Amino acid sequence: MSEATLERGINALKEQIDAPVAAFFSSCVSCGMCAEACLFYTETGDPKYTPIYKLEPLRRVWESEYTLVGKIKKVLGLNKPVTDELLQEWQELLYDSCTLCARCSMICPVGNDIVYMVRKAREGMVASGNSPEGVQGAATRAVTIGSPMGVKLSALEAQIRHIEADSGLKIPMDVEGADYLALLSSMEIMNFPEYLEGLAKIFKQAGVSWTLCSTAFEATNSGIQIGSSDIARTLVQRIVDGAERLKVKNVISPECGHAYTAIRWEGPNLIGRRLPFRVIHILELLDELRAAGRIKTKDLETDCYTFHDPCSIARKGGIIEEPRRLMNMVTTNFVDMKEHGKMAWCCGGGGGVSSNEDADSLRIKAFKRKRDQIAETGADVLVTACANCRLVIEEGLEEYRIELPVVGLSELIADHLVVDEEPPETPE
Amino acid sequence: MNEPMDFLIWTRGTAFDIAVTIFVIGVILRLFEILALGRKQNLAEPKGSEFGPGMKTILTRSIPDLGTFRRQPLTVVAGYMFHIGLLVSLIMFVPHIELFRATFGFSWPGLPTPIVDAAAVLAIVGLLAALWHRIMNPVMRKITTWEDWLVWTLTFLPILTGYLAYHRMVNPYPVILGLHILSVEALMIAFPFTKLMHTFTVFLSRWYNGAMSGRRGVES
Amino acid sequence: MSVFEQKGSEAVSNRVMPGMTHNTLPLLHEVRHALERLLRTGDSTIIDLRAIPFGPGDEERLLSLLGEGEVVATLDVLGRTTVRESRFSGVWIVDHYNSEAERIAFQLEVIEIPALLRAQTEDMNQSLDALDSVLNTETHGPE
Amino acid sequence: MAENSTLGDSLRRHGVSRRGFLKFCTATASLMALPPSMVPAIAAALERARRPSVIWLSFQECTGCTESLTRSHSPSVESLIFDHISLDYHHTLQAAAGEAAEAAREAAMHENKGNYILVVDGSIPLGNPGYSTIAGISNLQMLEETAKDAAAIVAVGTCAAFGGLPQANPNPTGAVSVSDIIKDKPIINVSGCPPIPTVITGVLAHFLTFGAIPELDQYNRPKVFYGQSIHDRCYRRPFYDKGLFAETFDDEGAKAGWCLYKLGCKGPMTYNACATTKWNQGTSWPVESGHGCLGCSEPRFWDAGGFYNALSVPISDNSQTVAFAAAAGLVLGAAAAGLNYKTKDEAQKAHGTVTIDDLEKKS
């Protein structure tokens, strides 16, 4: 059995450095603009949260391993080495104070994709044993139990029974040959079952053939959050296996940010081949159904609604217009926050921060940014499309004693769905 | 006795050859070093293309995001002043164009010297503002290394000496012209091995950024 | 067309860009200030035109702008010297030539009367002697 | 030979009136590039000026400096000065030759010990004394001997002042300037290839008038003549500022009298009086004639890059340097790329799969 050591950490960083990383470090002129894009800096004013500063360990490895001057410095003993102490100190910077929101990547004047590098730097942190305990726990539960929150299939089945009993809708499980395989996040199973119910309602109305999978229902990927491709691969493989077993054509990523990143963007690269199915986010699917006229809504709200863009879905996933079109299906009074879409501010809990107890108080501080953004809109209801964002925002609002309903966009669509009057029957 | 002219001849001769050689070798070497690290083939189904958005970001990143600009206008304003001032003085001043023509065999029309002069002042003011900002701003202080001070100095000196030489404020002229050329040589020698390389790698960085976002259907 | 079109310099001045005044106008400004100073304080000014970097046609243009005044004097002393008042009273053009008719000095004098036109004390002393000797001769007859 | 009468006496003896004397002083002030306000001081000084002895030595030179001087306006007001100096030795100009000439030199040195002016043109070879000798005496020996009792030395021409053409790379004769050898005498450098004749006479006039050397610049050149650059006094300067340049010697720009910077004019680095004093009795000067300044009054002008290359163009062939460096860069870059590739490849091979069992540090 191997174990986490500094050497393995440094080796992991060496593996991770590629041409973009080298170009990024070569380009940085220490202008500090990235700090202004980072809510951990803007809300605390502490310069150590400057995004590019968080990459110092990775930068040192790049310099001494991959540049002429660095190699010479190393031979002469003039280089600044990466030590265990350094990595330990940087744990806070690379985990507690980074949600992988990628806002810094959007504003860096020289075009450095900083979050791309943070994701890579975390590989070295994991390999050297410097990832935070809370995230380690989530990853361990995800691998051993099947879900970072420890949700087992039995719990899901119990929820399905509840939903079916309450709504009279059928939740299909392990249906081979279904068009769509729906994934869930543990939070949706435990905290927001209305998502699954909404899904069943919409798909029934739209005539979508879909299923859940008993061996691959968990969409989240703690490997992505902790920053270990090896662990992430194990988790993605389960979904790929489940989807291939059921021979589905599409896999639906749920209302969860990083799950989309994990399956949609990292998945094929982790398992080393193109996926034999299409990965689609639930918002993309709903928008497709809307465009095809397969779903319609009624009784539009007149209250002011605003939408929080989950970073992984909007800035890192390109799903920006879809939720806005969907929002206009449920309210006549949709107001965007000043900075939204690709420039949206993070809720403060992504990238594993919400499962990292060390970061709790910092996360609450950072939430001020979102709190003020929401307040500025004067909205009565906040809508989002990520269970993690939703939970983090709810917690944050509670912390600041603000009463504001936070709902998922899919269930909102389901609530306003025009359902044709026809005798209940199972599809096919 | 003959020092000023000896100095000028040395800076225009041997020293220039050395500096150009190191500069050219260094830049090529550094670009090879970077590109050799490669980029893994991306197997994820693309939502958009890479090349076009990459090229687009090379241009669009020159325009700051409005919200961020409001938070830190000085960085942007000083950056613009310096870069525009430097670019105009570097490539629109006729003596410089003559140097490029002698090197590459082609040239372009220059600007009247009072305009170039104003550009140089713009660059100097921009650099001084950037220096002040680097000293005063806590974020910049935190992330500034000795290399940043070095690079600032190496950039400032050619513009300052160029300004002094153009205005003939130091006598004899060969001394200040020689110092101007020498400071440029110092800049060229340090260039490939410091973050001055961003002059070239910024195109790589912005392209990668734009391409990686573009692939995911995001305009970066 | 060109403001430089003056006699004798067409060949050069036609090629000079219009509006390129070289040093003519700055010089004329200097003359103006000198004249003002002369009126105000009585201080005269002499400008050595050979120390001014004239371009082609500049001298002609300057002379044309200064024009011809009321006084013209010619001195025959170690070669010819001409003293001409310009059309601006108090501004004199003094041109010195040597015995080979080559210019050896060329000045603008801003003064009531150029010093060289005055009779010099030493010369008047000599003249006194000479007059004495003439009177002596006329009175007493040649020796 | 020098005599004891003053210039004032001498002129009066020639029947020159006070007016004539004043005109002479005006011309002298103009010649020395001094302001007209100096005329009374010059008049007072010239009244008392005594006739100095001048010894002129020519070493490694082309006689261009002497030509320049003798082709200057003659006879003229300068000739009055030259009437008044005693040119006791000049082996090109004097009638005496051989032993008689050398005897004249020695006599002048002896009689005017400590008071004569030594004028030198040409550089001095240090490589082999045989490169240049006069009457069997090496240049170095003659210079040291003659300089010993001189009141001041005027180094006429760039060769004497700075080494000039003989010193140009690779300097086969080991040529040096006067000031490289003589360290204990006041030296006035009148550089130029050749110097402007009136500048030579102007310097001599200054010494004659005031009995002292004029104010000098850092190259020991009289500031009145070398205080400003050609560029600063050039009548074409406005074109430089406006960005109007002649591209070739026969284009419209050249015909319109535009700036010659691109055609190699070294005016910006050259300090001389050409733009005001001009040549050939004030007729014209190189830039006015349509050719850029060569920089001939500056040290090592011969080695300072092509005459027809702009001052900003490097002395050696830069495109060749860039081409060679690019070729070397490709080779070294490929090597560096290989090293990086290898380092990364090794790191990837050394990858240990991370499992949940090794998330925690064991230590």
List the CATH number of the domain containing D236: 4.10.480.10
What residues does CATH 1.10.1060 cover in chain A? 6-130
- A-chain residues near D354 (CB < 8 A): 126-127, 228, 230-231
Backbone angles phi, psi at A184, to 5 degrees: -135, 160
Q: Which band of pLDDT confidence, cut at 50, 70 and 90, is reported for residue B149?
A: very high
Nearest CA-CA distance, residue B127 and chain A, Å: 12
Rounded Cα gap, residues A400 and A63, in angstroms: 44
Candidates 3.30.70, 1.25.40, 1.10.510, 1.20.1050; CATH matching A141-291? 1.20.1050
Q: Does D300 reach chain B within 8 Å, measured CB to CB? A: yes
- A-chain residues near D357 (CB < 8 A): 1
Nearest CA-CA distance, residue D301 and chain B, Å: 8
Rounded Cα gap, residues A347 and A349, in angstroms: 6
Rounded Cα gap, residues A48 and A32, in angstroms: 11
Rounded Cα gap, residues D149 and C85, in angstroms: 52
Residue-level pLDDT at D94: 79
Rounded Cα gap, residues B182 and B11, in angstroms: 6
Instruction: Verify that D232 and D148 share a domain, yes or no.
Output: no
Asked if pLDDT for residue B1 goes beyond 60, the answer is: no
In this prediction the ipTM stands at 0.88
Gap between the terminal Cα atoms of chain C: 71
Q: Which band of pLDDT confidence, cut at 50, 70 and 90, is reported for residue D101?
A: confident
What residues does CATH 3.40.50 cover in chain A? 305-415
- A-chain residues near D355 (CB < 8 A): 2, 143, 230-231
Minimal-distance CA residue of chain D relative to B175 = D269
Nearest CA-CA distance, residue B36 and chain A, Å: 7
- The residue to which tokens 């044709």 are assigned: A420
Classify residue A306 by its DSSP letter.
E
Candidates 3.10.450, 3.40.50, 2.60.40, 3.40.630; CATH matching A305-415? 3.40.50
Write the Ramachandran bin of A304: left for phi over 0, alpha for psi from -120 to 50, otherwise beta. beta
Q: Does D258 reach chain B within 8 Å, measured CB to CB? A: no
pTM above 0.80, yes or no: yes
Closest among D276, C78, D247 to B94, alpha carbons compared: D247
Half-sphere exposure of residue B130: CA atoms within 13 angstroms, side-chain side: 28
Asked if pLDDT for residue D54 goes beyond 90, the answer is: no
Q: How many residues does chain A have?
A: 428
Residue-level pLDDT at B192: 97
Q: What is the pLDDT along chain A (428 residues), one digit of tens a residue?
A: 467 899 999 999 999 999 999 999 999 999 999 999 999 999 999 999 999 999 999 999 999 999 999 999 999 999 999 999 999 999 999 999 999 999 999 999 999 999 999 999 999 999 999 999 999 999 999 999 988 888 899 999 999 999 999 999 999 999 999 999 999 998 899 889 999 999 999 999 999 999 999 999 999 999 999 999 999 999 999 999 999 999 999 999 999 999 999 999 999 999 999 999 999 999 999 999 999 999 999 999 999 999 999 999 999 999 999 999 999 999 999 999 999 999 999 999 999 999 999 999 999 999 999 999 999 999 999 999 999 999 999 999 999 999 999 999 999 999 999 998 765 555 44
Nearest CA-CA distance, residue D87 and chain C, Å: 23
Residue-level pLDDT at D202: 85
Which of D332, D354, D360 to substitute to test the interface with A, most A CBs within 10 Å? Answer: D354
Instruction: Verify that D185 and D322 share a domain, yes or no.
Output: no
Asked if pLDDT for residue D5 goes beyond 80, the answer is: no
Q: Which band of pLDDT confidence, cut at 50, 70 and 90, is reported for residue D282?
A: confident
Residue D330 lies in a domain: yes
Q: Which residues contact D253 (CB under 8 A, 6 or more apart)?
A: D244, D245, D246, D247
Residue-level pLDDT at D25: 87
Strands (E), chain D: 53-58, 86-90, 116-121, 124-125, 133-134, 137-138, 150-156, 175-176, 187-190
Rounded Cα gap, residues A220 and A255, in angstroms: 10
Backbone angles phi, psi at B121, to 5 degrees: -65, -40
Helix (H, G, I), strand (E, B) or coil at C109: strand
Closest among A84, A155, A93, A149 to A118, alpha carbons compared: A93
CA angle at residue D221 from D218 to D226, to 5 degrees?
A: 100
Nearest CA-CA distance, residue D202 and chain A, Å: 59
Chain B: partners with 3+ C-beta pairs within 8 Å: A, D
Amino acid (one-letter) located at D236: R
CB contact under 8 A, C77 and D20: yes
- C-chain residues near D26 (CB < 8 A): 96, 105, 107, 116
- C-chain residues near D29 (CB < 8 A): 48, 105
Q: Which helix (H) or strand (E) holds A404?
A: none
Among D36, D239, D282, beta carbon nearest to C103: D282
Among C98, C103, C120, beta carbon nearest to D18: C120
Which of A24, A26, A263 to substitute to test the interface with B, most B CBs within 10 Å? Answer: A26
Rounded Cα gap, residues D294 and D306, in angstroms: 9
- B-chain residues near A67 (CB < 8 A): 30, 33, 193
Which of D169, D171, D315, D346 to substitute to test the interface with B, most B CBs within 10 Å? Answer: D315
Residue D8 lies in a domain: no
Asked if pLDDT for residue D201 goes beyond 60, the answer is: yes
Instruction: Verify that D284 and D205 share a domain, yes or no.
Output: no
Which residues in chain C land under pLDDT 50?
Answer: 1-19
Interface subset of D 313-342, CB within 8 angstroms of B = 313-316, 318-319, 321-322, 324-326, 328-330, 332-334, 336-338, 340-341
Rounded Cα gap, residues D98 and D104, in angstroms: 10
Distance of CA D151 to the CA centre of its chain: 22
Distance of CA D10 to the CA centre of its chain: 34
Q: Which residues of D touch C (CB under 8 A)?
A: 16-20, 22-24, 26-27, 29-31, 33, 35-37, 73, 75-77, 233-236, 238-239, 244, 255-257, 275-277, 281-282, 288
Among D319, D333, D341, beta carbon nearest to B105: D319
Domain count, chain D: 2
CA angle at residue A213 from A208 to A214, to 5 degrees?
A: 150
CB contact under 8 A, B12 and D304: yes
Among A20, A68, A338, beta carbon nearest to B208: A20
Render C2-42 in DSSP notation, one character per residue: -TT--TT-HHHHTTSPTT--TTHHHHHHHHHHHHHHHHHH-
Candidates 1.10.1060, 2.60.40, 1.10.287, 2.70.98; CATH matching A6-130? 1.10.1060
Residue D20 lies in a domain: no
**D160 close to D66: Cβ distance less than 8 angstroms:** no
Residue-level pLDDT at D339: 95
Which of D359, D360, D362 to substitute to test the interface with A, most A CBs within 10 Å? Answer: D359
Among D339, D348, D359, beta carbon nearest to A136: D359
Q: Is B29 exposed, middle or buried (0-12, 13-18, 19+ CB in 10 A)?
A: buried
Backbone angles phi, psi at C123, to 5 degrees: -65, -35
Rounded Cα gap, residues A252 and D23, in angstroms: 107
CB contact under 8 A, A109 and B34: no
Render D267-292 in DSSP notation, one character per residue: GGG-B-SHHHH-BTTTTB-TTTTT--
Minimal-distance CA residue of chain B relative to D220 = B1
Domains of chain C by residue range: 10-112, 116-143
Look at the domain C10-112 and name its fold.
Answer: Ribosomal Protein S8; Chain: A, domain 1 (3.30.1370)
Domain span holding position D326: 228-334
